[in-house]
Amino acid sequence: VLPLFRADFDDSATYSAVATNVHGQTSTNCAVIVRRFREDEEPHPAAIMPFHLPLSYDVCFTHIDVQFLEKFGVTFATEGETLTLKCSMLITPELKRLRPRAEWYRDDVLIKDSKWTKLYFGEGQAALSFTHLNKDDEGLYTLRMVSRGGISECSAYLFVRDADALIAGAPGAPMDVKCHDANRDYVIVTWKPPNTTSESPVIGYFVDKCEVGLENWVQCNDAPIKVCKYPVTGLQEGRSYIFRVRAVNNAGISRPSRASEPVAALDPVDLERTQTVHVDEGRKIVISKDDLEGDVQIPGPPTNVHASEISKTYVVLSWDPPVPRGREPLTYFIEKSMVGSGSWQRVNAQVAVKSPRYAVFDLAEGKPYVFRVLSANKNGISDPSEITEPIQPQDTIVLPSAPGQVVATRNTKTSVVVQWDKPKHEEDLYGYYIDYSVVGSNRWEPSNHKPIKYNRFVVHGLETGEQYVFRVKAVNAVGLSENSQESEAVTVQAALTCPSYPHGITLLNCDGHSMTLGWKAPTYSGGSPILGYYMDKREANHQNWHEVNSSLITRTIYTVKDLIEDAFYEFKVAAANLVGIGQPSDPSEHFKCKAWTMPEPGPAYDLMICEVRNTSLVLLWKAPVYEGKSPITGYLVDYKEVDTEDWITANEKPTSKRYFKVTDLHEGHTYVFKVRAVNDAGVGKSSEISEPVLVEERPGTKEIYSGVDDEGNIYLAFECKEATDASHFAWGKSYEEIDDSHKFKIETEGNHSKLYFKNPDKSDLGTYSISVSDTDGVSSSFVMDDEEFERLMALSYEIKNPTIPLKSELAYEVLDKGEVRFWIQAESLSPDSTFRFVINDKEVENSDRHKINCDRSSGIIEMVMEKFTIDNEGTYTVQIQDGKAKNQSSLVLIGDAFKGVLAESELQRKEFLRKQGPHFSEFLYWKVTEECEVLLSCKVANTKKETDFKWYKDGSGVDVEELPDLQKGECHLNIPKLSRKDEGVYKATLSDDRGHDVSSLELSGKVYDDIILALSGMSGKSASPLKILCTEEGIRLQCFLKYYNEEMKVSWCHRESKISSGEKMKIGGGDDVAWLQISEPTEKDKGNYTFEIFGGKESYKRTLDLSGQAFDDAYAEFQRLKAAAFAEKNRGKVIGGLPDVVTIMDGKTLNLTCTVFGNPDPEVVWFKNDKAFEIDEHYAFSLEQGKYASLTIKGVTSEDSGKYSIHVKNKYGGETVDVTVSVYRHGEKMPEIKPGQLAKPRPIPPS
């Protein structure tokens, strides 16, 4: 119940009630009319108010007029975008409750509010919004405003392009996915294939399903299916699903299509098997046929088993459930048998089928099958159904044939009508795809992205003036046909129509009996030149119009005669072309036929606006017919923005010209203009106000450009793709049309026009303009100033007086034998070209002395002089002529320039002679190896086995371990460790019976310094990290290198301060090490130390932080070594004098004497065989002056043989020296004694 309390007139309307459930919906309408209450009238009792009034949507409105103010046009969009189509309108009268109905249609199908489309109508606007565009939305959209006054409508096409593919080259998405024949666990999904204009063909499709309310898409088929139809099985009864499809080609998989509408997995027969019985008080009873059929134990077999879908890959079987069914749920089993096999195979042995539909896959291609179906419930399985007729899997529809002849015709400035013959077999067609291509581009673009059903289509979005060809493909469930043959090329132009109406009728003069009228030509000529005009007149307040002229008026000005003085007249004008007479203009205002006598001039007329740019435009007009009492001296130009009151005068002083450029306008604003003529009497009548002009440069606006053609003629050119066959290119100078054929020539072809200057001179300076009729105001201007004129004249002179372009001016080169070659190269030379060489104003001919040659294919002209001598000084010139074109080039060889060439020639001649025998192809040079060795190298050539090679230094031969192998072409002399002693002049010589050659290198001075620098760089690369070495003198920092020389440029730094070698810090090194000695280190010597080697462009640094623990450890080691050195210096020592072996004959006296040292004086002890012995008469010891120690043995015997030792020691330690004494008897042969050696001491540690 919907109660209306306190009803008001605004409550008058039609009300609807809609009931909806899972099985569908129903609705009912009721019209309510609220009338004014009168006491003497009784309102209708509610009880007897009819429930269904005969007032439907179609008759509920009063007479309402709908006038569209702004319509939607042809629209181009891309999948995934949002878009709104809208119309603004004027509704008369506008009633709050009684409004017209706005209905939107796509391809004549009514559109309703949905997830994808939103409808709006109110406040004088109807809109259709798309939340997420898909190709499904492409089509012809129509807005119909329905009222009792009739139907007002507007239509336009919406094109929806494919979104960019996720994988390059993948096809566009399929579209129009729909579900058919849904049942408990089965549905057939169909779709339409995408257009593949530039992509590879579609090879199949994947179908995805998703349960409503979830977002989990599941792919239904494992392999791509080739036909746009697929039976989906395995649905769960009672649940709703949506489906989408993806196309596949060789490049990849497309984006998914738009999802289908939801479909429920229910058996539609279930609704038919229920019956509703209405009882009293609105109650009802629902009875199921299952209940009426009673208990059925084992069901009967299904009936009417047949194939409802047959394809190459599957067969869909359909059947009727058994009757009676019974209360228990039914399932089905399907069996198949190949004809002739005699055996049956159950198809769905694992999963029972609930729906009376089933798709059987995995059938052998080309083999016929028969099928049967069994019913089952919980009690058992029925007998098999009757066997079907033999069914062979095959495609029932095939790929369509290509459409027939394609014809394209002009339509508008941006569209073409394409028509074609239908294919021979047009059954089961989804529609057609149309492609277009710019002539010559060989690049095809799709026009429509969703198949159209008709064989006629308007292709929009084309470029005006461009030529196109078209082709068509037919589409069905199998795919796309072959392309049709291409249409004939068609130029995009508007089709021929009658011209539009003239406008702006203005009274220009009146003498009391006639009126002179002017008007503006139609905006569009209809594609054909306007032949003239017809004018009608009538007196004010008269109904009938009267013809003014019977023959065409060829101008836009005309004098109407035989009028009644002081009467009021109005006029209208119609234009005519080849097609016919167009619509007449609106009637003019009422003009009074009264003679003009005012002293001021009449109105200017025929205002024309051109060259509209972002902030400026040019206004043109014609002079008034009525001048007044004195000649016109100028014009004032006024303008204002639309919807404003105040006029602005653009020029402070009147301009004498009949054109004016208005500047400083606001981009995107709309203006109107008028012109007033001025004479001595004052300002005259204002012209008619121009039509509103939007100040905004049109996309693709072109300008006049200048140039010079191949003949040297100067021209101005303009291109207008919007031009039609009826367009006229009007050239002007100072905005006056050019008609001087002596000065100018105009050539127009297609959409190009050129203005040629016949005899250009300074009088041609000025402003040139062009306007193209039958276009949307296409125009441009060009200022020919002094600078541009001079540029064009210079270019024209170059073309009329051509020169042969040169790649290279005359040049020379000295050849290997000392010959001098003079050469010049032109860009190109024809076979008929001629040339000559001139030396010192005298032409030279081809001879042995001057060998002249010309290669016209490459454009090279050359002269070779075999002997270049002192007599050849002078000027060399080459003159070339090729048709009309000429050029020449000169080379001056005088003075130093000539001497340089002569010296180079003589050098090359000597070099040539030198190379006839063994010679050095590369003279001596040095290089440094990675091992920091210096290698003197040279390369030799033209040698043989007998060729002798030698090395010399400072004139003396250098001995080498191995003679070089001259056949290898290289010789080397290695200097291992370079030092000053290696300085000198090194020479390498080659000689044999053919001659000799010498190469020398002075390794001294700068060369030596450069080598040292290179060695520094190579050695620096190998430098080790700084290491610490402690000595008794202090701490030494060392860097090990492959090579070190004190002449190398190195530096030591302490705390970034450079160190100079001295007593405290001493810098030195060896062959492979550089060091810094820090004597007697202190705390001040702590810090960072850097060793840097400079090697040419690079330097190499090694750094050590001598502080903290590193310094402490080094200092401690230094103190230890210093103490050890002191002890070593002062310990007890045997300085010398004792041999290691003494041989003596018995009876003799042996005296062992040595010098000892120690500070303090050491203690001296003698031992025999490591045992001390005491002094007696036989042994005597002595120590004189504290340093001369001796042992005397008197009368030695054999018992005195043995080891005698002297032990010298003080507090710092000492040493022991051993002497072996051998005693032989008298008469025995003296033992052989090795050469005497000093006894070696053995150290004794300090106590």
38 and 102 inside one domain? no
Other beta carbons within 10 angstroms of residue 940's beta carbon come to: 23
146 and 44 inside one domain? no
795 and 709 inside one domain? yes
Q: pLDDT at position 1139, please?
A: 86
Q: Is the pTM of this model over 0.75?
A: no
Residue where one domain finishes, among candidates 800, 828, 862: 800
Distance, in Å, from the CA atom of 867 to the CA atom of 849, rounded to the nearest integer, reads 7
User: Rg of the chain over CA atoms, in angstroms?
Assistant: 59
Q: At 1053, list the tokens.
A: 């730094």
Is 1015 contained in some domain? no
Q: pLDDT at position 50, please?
A: 38
1146 and 1100 inside one domain? no
CATH code, 744: 2.60.40.10
**Each residue's pLDDT tens digit, 507-537:** 999 999 999 999 999 988 887 889 999 999 9
460 and 511 inside one domain? no
**Each residue's pLDDT tens digit, 111-170:** 999 999 999 998 889 999 999 999 999 999 999 998 876 888 999 999 999 999 999 999
Q: pLDDT at position 62, please?
A: 56
β-pairing, 204-211 vs 240-248, is antiparallel
Q: pLDDT at position 127, please?
A: 95
Q: pLDDT at position 582, please?
A: 92
Q: pLDDT at position 1104, please?
A: 92
Residue entry with tokens 């027939």: 404
1064 and 1155 inside one domain? no
Distance, in Å, from the CA atom of 662 to the CA atom of 617, rounded to the nearest integer, reads 6
Is 889 contained in some domain? yes
The pair phi, psi for residue 1166, each rounded to 5°, is: -105, 145
Distance, in Å, from the CA atom of 478 to the CA atom of 480, rounded to the nearest integer, reads 7
Q: pLDDT at position 100, please?
A: 87
The answer to whether residue 22 scores a pLDDT higher than 90 is no
Q: Which residues of 132-154 are buried (b: 16+ CB within 10 A; e: fewer)?
A: ebbbbbbbebbbbbbbeeeebeb
Residue where one domain finishes, among candidates 1111, 1128, 1145: 1128
**How far from chain centre, in Å, is Cα 156?**
35
Sheet holding 860-865, edge to edge: 806-814, 820-826, 860-865, 850-855
CA neighbor of 571 nearest in space, from 583, 558, 589: 589
Q: pLDDT at position 8, please?
A: 66
1113 and 1047 inside one domain? yes
Q: Which residue has the higher pLDDT, 1237 or 68?
A: 68
146 and 183 inside one domain? no
Q: Which residue has the higher pLDDT, 541 or 811?
A: 811
Q: pLDDT at position 1238, please?
A: 66
953 and 888 inside one domain? no
Is 348 contained in some domain? yes
Residue 290: pLDDT band (50, 70, 90) is low
Q: pLDDT at position 1234, please?
A: 62
Is 386 contained in some domain? no
The answer to whether residue 44 scores a pLDDT higher than 60 is no
Averaged pLDDT, 917-938: 91
Averaged pLDDT, 903-913: 88
Is 463 contained in some domain? yes
Residue entry with tokens 């209708």: 44
Domains held by the chain: number: 12
Q: Which residues of 255-271 are buried (b: 16+ CB within 10 A; e: fewer)?
A: bbbbbbeebbbbbeeee
Percent of the chain with pLDDT over 90: 54
Q: pLDDT at position 860, please?
A: 94
The answer to whether residue 809 scores a pLDDT higher than 90 is yes
CA neighbor of 1215 nearest in space, from 1126, 1119, 1143, 1127: 1127
Q: pLDDT at position 35, please?
A: 62
Catalogue the E-assigned strands of 845-960: 850-855, 860-865, 874-882, 885-893, 919-928, 934-941, 948-953, 956-957
Other beta carbons within 10 angstroms of residue 658's beta carbon come to: 18
The answer to whether residue 58 scores a pLDDT higher than 80 is no
β-pairing, 125-130 vs 204-211, is unpaired
Q: pLDDT at position 295, please?
A: 63
SS (H, E, C) 214-272: CCCCEECCCCCECCCEEEEECCCCCCEEEEEEEEECCCCECCCCCCCCCEECCCCHHHH
* Residue 1055 Rama label (left phi>0; alpha psi -120 to 50; beta): left
Other beta carbons within 10 angstroms of residue 582's beta carbon come to: 23
Q: pLDDT at position 38, please?
A: 47
Cβ contact 368:391 at 8 Å: yes
Residue where one domain finishes, among candidates 244, 266, 288: 266
Q: pLDDT at position 1214, please?
A: 92
**Each residue's pLDDT tens digit, 815-856:** 988 899 999 999 989 999 999 999 999 999 999 889 999 999
CA neighbor of 236 nearest in space, from 207, 262, 214, 266: 266
Averaged pLDDT, 870-884: 91
936 and 992 inside one domain? yes
Percent of the chain with pLDDT over 70: 93
Max CA separation in the chain (angstroms):
191
Is 830 contained in some domain? yes
Is 14 contained in some domain? yes
**Each residue's pLDDT tens digit, 1015-1037:** 898 888 889 999 999 998 899 99
Distance, in Å, from the CA atom of 236 to the CA atom of 365, rounded to the nearest integer, reads 31
Is 392 contained in some domain? no
Averaged pLDDT, 8-18: 68
Averaged pLDDT, 1197-1205: 89
**Each residue's pLDDT tens digit, 699-755:** 888 899 999 998 899 999 999 888 877 788 999 999 888 988 889 999 999 889 999
Residue 597: pLDDT band (50, 70, 90) is very high
1135 and 1207 inside one domain? yes
1158 and 1228 inside one domain? yes
Other beta carbons within 10 angstroms of residue 72's beta carbon come to: 20
Residue 500 belongs to what domain range? 496-596
The answer to whether residue 347 scores a pLDDT higher than 60 is yes
Mean pLDDT score across all residues of the chain: 88
